[in-house]
Amino acid sequence: MQLVLASGNPGKLRELRALFAKDPQLASIQLLGAGELKLPSVVEDADTFCGNAKKKALSAAMATGRISLADDSGLEVDALDGRPGVHSARYSGGEGNDQDARNIAKLLEELTLVADPQRTARFRCVVAIATPQGEVWTAKGSCEGTITTQCSGQGGFGYDPVFLVEGTGKTMAELPEDEKNKISHRAMAFAKALPILKEILKGAKV
């Protein structure tokens, strides 16, 4: 069976495939990413993570005729009144291969005068599962931490190098992939979404 992840982000696809591989009920499923399919573009103009995730999942399900998953996630910084929030991916404007670096640079600049105790933040994620019939379910996850003053670590993507995960002493980018896949906001959301997905795949009404 084939499912669709409505995302062209290779990091997200890699993380979800790793979660599927560890689950006996999902290990045989082929997960296709947006880069492998010609999915219609979706304008992520909702003002919540949930709204954007639903929009992407439903669009992919209708376009492919397959059950589709999508997530919308981002970073909320308390000292910035929750910014960058739903605008996390393009916080610095535009797009390109250096987008992550430019986003981080803007974030750190805005926090220059903010003391360490006030640099609290969290990653949030909402996963949506949609069927070609237009049904949709959601699950949420979050991960608490603080924003560092400089990048540290080579793993992950996005803001991972400056997000110090609460209770670990490491940035998200410094965590081994197996550990990140247990505690990240995306891992938490997908962990809640997978039981829903299994019920959908069995044809049961959730």
- The one catalytic residue among 47, 71, 72, 98: 72
Inter-residue contact 108 to 88 (CB < 8 Å): no
Rounded CA separation 131/122 (Å): 30
Q: Coil, strand, or helix at residue 25? A: coil
Query: Does the annotation count 45 as an active-site position?
Result: no
Among 92, 99, 114, 181, which residue's Cα sits nearest to residue 141? 181
Q: What is the total residue count of the chain? A: 206
Q: Which amino acid is at 86?
A: V
Catalytic residues: 72
